[in-house]
Each structure stands twice: as structure tokens, then as C-alpha cells.
Structure 1
Amino acid sequence: MTGRTDTALIIGDMQTGILANYAFSRAPVPPMRSLVHAARAHGILVVFVRTELRASGADVSENNTLFTAFHQAGPLFHEGSGETDIIPQLAPQPEDVVITKRRTSAFAGTELELVLRAHHVESIALTGVATSAMVAGTLYDALDRDYRATVLSDACADAEADVHDFLMARIFPGRGARVMTGESWLSEW
């Protein structure tokens, strides 16, 4: 099959600790499994992004109440805890890339853009949890960096279903992103 070297599938925060502690985060797993399998088969770069904080708290400012709460919640987001590992159902393969982030956006302070540029990626398909956090933050950064962005609605989830629906129906398309199901995205190949 011909490789799609201009495209990357980004999967955010599908970590063992998150899925064990937040029931809403389990819903996107079945479509993600199909997407990851198909992306690899079509030569699309698969990028896993995970949130990981230093156990010492050196990367958490008291000014950032959200990440302070994450850090203080115990090892759920602590580097090396095992809870930040990508879930086994989506196990990264040697050809995949795993990016560690320490903020909401997958671009903030990471090597994601370097990896995407090295692979000549111009289009991303974005998935993950939570829609109102990682997905939204990464999407806005991607659009500001001139990537063509598609959000795969059934491969994202949020603790607040109405917020997920509002972002997918109104906000993301209004920002210039395409929103579609994973199956629709796959059918374009």
C-alpha cells in the first residue's frame, strides 16, 4: 500500500491510569484500535502522546492549579509510575512515536513538531481524551502551526458529553478543523 507520509494519527492520553480511573475515557478504545491498525497498514505515522509529570514536582508551577492537582493526586500522572503507560490495547510498535507532554497541548514543550516536520507531515488526525483538554489544546496549537487538522469524533471523549458534542459540532469546525468519525476518515483512503 502506498504510504501517506504527509499524514499523522495522533492519539492522546490513552494511559493505563486514566482509563482505570475515568470511565468516560474507555469509549474511544474500539475505534482507536481500528484506526491504529489501518494507519499502520497505510503508512501513516502513529503518534502516541502521554501526560507525565516529574514525581518531584519540578515541572509543576503552583500558578497552574490543574497540573498541581494532577501532581498531588498521587502517581496517576507521575513519571515512571506505570500509570502513564499507553494502554496495552493500543500498544505502541517500534515504528510508532511516543511523545511525553507535561501540559495540555501535545505541542507545548515537546518534540512533537520536530517529529512531524521530520516526517513531512502536513495533516493530522487527532484523537484522545479529554476532548475539552488535550484534544482542544492540541488542535488549537496545530491550527496555529498551519497543520490541516481533522478531529475524529468517535475516537475522542470527555467527562461532559454535552461539552464534547458542542466542541465537535460548533467550536472545532469554527476554528477550521474537519470533524468526522474514524470510519469516515478511513473511507477517504
Structure 2
Amino acid sequence: MLVDFVNGFNDPDHFGGGNIADAIAASARLLPVARARKWPVAHTRVVYADDGSDAGAFTMKAPSLRKLTETSPLSQFVDAVRPVEGEFIIRKRQASAFFGTEFAGWLTWHHVDTLLVAGCTTSGCVRASVVDAVSHNLRTVVLTDCVGDRAIGPHEANLFDMGQKYADLLTSEEAVAATVPAGEQDHD
């Protein structure tokens, strides 16, 4: 799952900054591996109606999120990690990829029991999605080089906390090494 890698979160003048660009670059290197191994891939983006009629409490704290409409350039996926045909796109109005979406059902349909998480922001939508993932009894792995935040302090604190309670923490390289592509298992 790639959380909210959209133009607005990659732009320090809007919602981005910190190490988000680095997380996008690392995710762009991982995505071809996931696709080659035919792992189910999902992407999230925050999307509100043009008139803000579906905005709620989440936008009270961060009213600029209402700029993320279906056609806004800010809410379009970053080119480096743009979804391809067959990948699930989750449009959400809350922090978690699970809340008010079809994500849990899609994961069940695809027989997913382990969720690798990339995206931004570590302290916001990534964390909310990770807590909900483990609440759905998924083994959850946060890819530490593939998540980013506007500031390093909250990024590191939330990685520490998620690692203590909700997820395993691995780099993308460690995660790829820990998985064995179908057909390459030992058959003793």
C-alpha cells in the first residue's frame, strides 16, 4: 500500500517537505519489484468534493486538505509512483486507508495477510492506516525508507511507536529479501 503519494504531499509549499521526497524515491525503486512479483498494489489519495460538502472533522484541523479534489493538481499521484492498470486506488476522506473505504474487502478478496506500507505522512495517514491494518489482523510491515513526514522528529517518534505496538519495521531492501517469489521456494 502506498499512502498519499500525491503532488501536494510532495510539495513543501503545500503539505510536504521533510523526507517525503526520499520516501517517494525509495518507493519508486520498490514498486517494480512488487509488480514483477504480482503483489496486489493499492494506492490512496485524499479526495473531497469540489464544494467541500463531504469534508468533516479531519478538515477542521487541516482546512487546506479541502484543496484535494478529484481534479486538483495537488491530489494527483506523483509520476514516479503513479498507479498502473489493475492497481487499486482508494479515495478517502479520513486519515486511514480503511475508514469508510472498500480496502479491507479488497485485501480479503486478494488473500492478503501481510501488508507492506509506504507513504506519507508517517505521523498522520501512515500511522492511522497501520493501526487500522493491525486492527484487521493483518501482519503489518512499515517500510522505513519508504515513509516520510514533513519533519524528522514526528517521523522518527511514530516509527518507534509503531514498531513497539503495531508493525514490524523493515527497509524495502530487507522486506524484498525476506520474501521469496512464488515458484522459488525449496521443495524438499
Report the TM-score when normalising by structure 1: 0.86
- Asked if the contact 2:17–2:151 (Cα under 8 Å) also holds between the matched residues in 1, the reply is no
Where in structure 2 are there 5+ consecutive unaligned residues?
A: 180-188
Q: Structure 1 residues 63 and 26 mapped into 2: Cα distance closer, same or farther (>3 Å)?
A: closer
Match of 2:65 in 1: 70
Structure 1 consecutive aligned stretches of length 4 or more whose deviation exceeds 3 Å:
none
* Match of residue 52 from structure 1: 47
Tell me if the contact between 1:60 and 1:67 (Cα under 8 Å) persists in the aligned partners.
no
Q: Secondary structure at the match of 2:98?
A: coil
1:63-142 to 2 correspondences below 5 Å: 65-71=60-66, 75=67, 77-142=68-133
Q: Is the 8 A contact 1:131 1:156 kept in 2?
A: yes
In structure 1, what is the equivalent of residue 24 of structure 2? 29
Find the aligned partners of 1:12 and 1:173 in 2 and give their Cα distance. Answer: 18
Q: Deviations over 1:24-73 (max 9, x none)?
A: 321212210111110011111111111111111111136852253422xx
Per-residue Cα deviation, 1:88-108 (whole angstroms, up to 9, x for no partner): 111211121111111100001
Q: TM-score, normalised by structure 2?
A: 0.87
SS class of match (2:157): helix
Aligned mates of 1:132, 1:121 — CA distance in 2: 24
Is the partner of 2:73 in helix, strand or coil? coil
Q: Which one is further off, 78-87 or 154-163? A: 78-87
Structure 2 CA distance, aligned partners of 1:102 and 1:137? 13
- Within the candidate set 138, 146, 155, 1:147 is matched to 138
SS of residue matched to 2:8: helix
**Counterparts of 1:84 and 1:182 in 2: how far apart (Å)?**
25
Letter in structure 1 aligned against 2:165: R
Percent identity, aligned pairs only, is 23
CA distance in 2, matches of 1:168, 1:34: 21
* Separation (CA, whole Å) in 2 of partners of 1:92 and 1:99: 11
Contact kept, 8 Å, 2:59 with 2:65, in 1: the verdict is: no
The code of the aligned residue for 1:175 comes to: K
8 A contact 2:48–2:70 mirrored in 1: yes
| Uncovered stretches (5+) of structure 1, i.e. residues with no partner | 1-9
Aligned length: 175
